[in-house]
Structure 1
Amino acid sequence: MNLMHDAPLISPENKDSGAEIFAGLPKVTLFAPLPTDASTPDELRAATHAVVQALADDHVVYAELRLSPGAFPFDAAEALAAAQEGLDVPGIDARLIAEGDASEAAVGVALTELSAAEKLRADFIPWERDVDSYEEAVAAVQAGATRLVHATDLVDDFSADLDGVRPGKASAWVRDRHIALTFAPLEEMPIEELADHPLPLLQQLGFTCTVAGEKLSDVFLALSETFGYGLEEFFDLTIKAIENSFASEEDRQRLIEQEILPAYEELADPEFAEDASETEEAEEETESSD
C-alpha cells in the first residue's frame, strides 16, 4: 500500500510559478531511454553517463533508464555492465530497466514478450510494458504488469452518460489496483495537440499517473501552459512516480523525506509551515510522554 503524502500548502506568491521554479523542483522519471547506437562498451558507458548527467542537471533525483542489452554489437552482459558503470553521477539515484531481459544489474524489466511474464512473476521481478493500443494494455494487465507505459488508449474503455465519464471493466481494474501509468506527453503527441492528452482526465478519475520526457522541466512547463498545472499537481506526479518506482520502500521513503518534501516545503505558506512544525512538536511530546 502506498503511503499518502499531503502536499505542503503552497505560498500564494509561488502559486503562479514558471519555468525557473519548475526547473528547480526535484523530479522523478520512470522512463528515460538510453541510446542504442554505441559501438563499444566504452561508448555505451559514456552515453549512459551523459544521459544521467543531463537528468541530474534537470534536478531529477531518481531515474529508471531503459536499456536494450541486445541492441549492441557486443555481448548483452557487457552492455549491462557498461551501462551500470555509467550511472555513477552525483546527486541522482539512477537505476536500469532491462528491455526484454532479466538481470541482477537491472532493477526491473521492460517486457517485450508476454510469454516471459510467468517466469518474472515466479522470480518476483517487477516489469512494465509499452502499449500502443487498448488491447495491448489489457493483455499486459492480465499478464500481471506492474506498470504500463504510453497507455493513452486506455480511455477507449471509457463510457460517458449524463453523470459523466466512467471507466470500463478493464480500465477500472487498472485504476482500482493503482497500476501506474507512465506517460511521455511531449513525445506521445505534438505540442499543438497536447490539450487532447488524456492525462488530466485519468488523474481526475483517480488513476495513478506519472510523467516522463527528455527534459522534465519542459514537460512541467508544457503541462502548466496547457492544463494550468501548478506545484500541487507536480508534487502529486512526483510522489506517484517515486512510490511506484522499482526501488525498495526504504529508498523511496528516503528520497521523499530527504529530497522531495524539503524542496516543496520551502515553497510552502509560512503560516502552514509554522502550524506543521507545531503539530510535529506536539506529536513528539506525546510520543515521549508515552
Structure 2
Amino acid sequence: MEDMKLFDKTESSLEFSSSLEGVLEVLISNKYFYEEQINILKEALMSRVSASAIADPTLEPKMMKLMLEGLKENINLSEYVNDGFKFEQVEELYKGIKKGIDVKAYANVEYNHFQMSVIRNAIEMGLNIEPLKNAELSHTQMALICYGIINNLDISKYSNPKISAEKALEVIKSLENKTSLYLVLNEEEIASEYSFYQLQQIRLGMLNRINVWLYKNPNIKLECMKYIRFCLENNIEIDGIKNYDITGDEGEALVKDSALKIAMKKLRDKRRDMKDIDMSNVTIEADKKLCTEYLEMLYSKWEKQNLKVLMNEGKVPNYCRCLD
C-alpha cells in the first residue's frame, strides 16, 4: 500500500505510516477529527484510495464523503472545494463530470446548485446554454428559457432577469396563443409596472378578443380589472367606463355593480333548468348575496374551471351550478 500523508490545521504534518493499521491508529488518536470524519477516512484507506485529499478536519463529513466517491472513480473534486464551492454545488459538478460533460460551462461559484442543475440538464439535452449564462436569472427563469428554446418561442421576450418567472410564464402563454402581450405592452411595463396578476388579466382578455385597452392601466386595481374583463366578455358595456375614473374605489364599485348585474341575469336565465334544486327560499336579496359570493369566488385564488371540484368537496352551494 502506498504511503498516505494525513494532516490537520495545527500541525505541519502527521508521520507517514506504511501499514494500514498504523494509519488507522494515527487517525483514531487524532483529536481534531470527529468520529464521522474518521470513519470516512477509514473507508478511504480500506478502498485503497489516497486519504490525503480529504483528510482535512474543516471539511463537512458530507463533503468528505462526496470527494471520496469521486476519488473512487478517479474524479478529484478538490479544485472545486478549494475554490469555495458549497457541497450542493460540488455535487452538481460531480454529476456533470460523471456524465462526461464539460462542467466549465457552469463551474461558476455565483450559480447556486439549482441554477447549475438547470444548465447541466440543458447541456445533456443539447440545448444552446448561452441564454442561461446569467447568474441574475433564477433557476425557474432558466427553466422557462429552456422551455422556450425547445418549443421555438422568442425567448428574448422574457429572458430579462427583471421579468419574474411568474410574469415570464404569462408571456409564454401569450406567445403560444399568438396573442403576445407585447402587442399592447413593452418590456419595461411587463418587468416593472404591472403585477403578475394584472398581466394575467390582460392576457386572458386578449385571448378572448376583448378590448383590453379599456383596463390596460397599472393603476387599476386587480379586482377591478377582473370585473371589467368579466363584463366585456359577456358583451355588456359598463356605463361610463370610458370616462369614469376606474382607478379609484368609486370606479371599482361601479364596475363590480355591472358585473353583479350580469351574474344576476345568468342566475335568472338558468334557474329554469335547475328543477332538481329547491330555490323556494332564495329571495332577491339571497340572489344578490349568491351572485356577489360567486363573483368573489370566481376571481379568488380558485380558477373558474375548479368550481365543480369545490362544489363536489362541499365548499360551494349546489345552486351555484347555475352560474358555472
Task: Give the TM-score normalised by structure 1.
Answer: 0.23
Higher share in helix: 2
Higher relative contact order (CA 8 A, sep 6+): 1
Higher strand proportion = 1
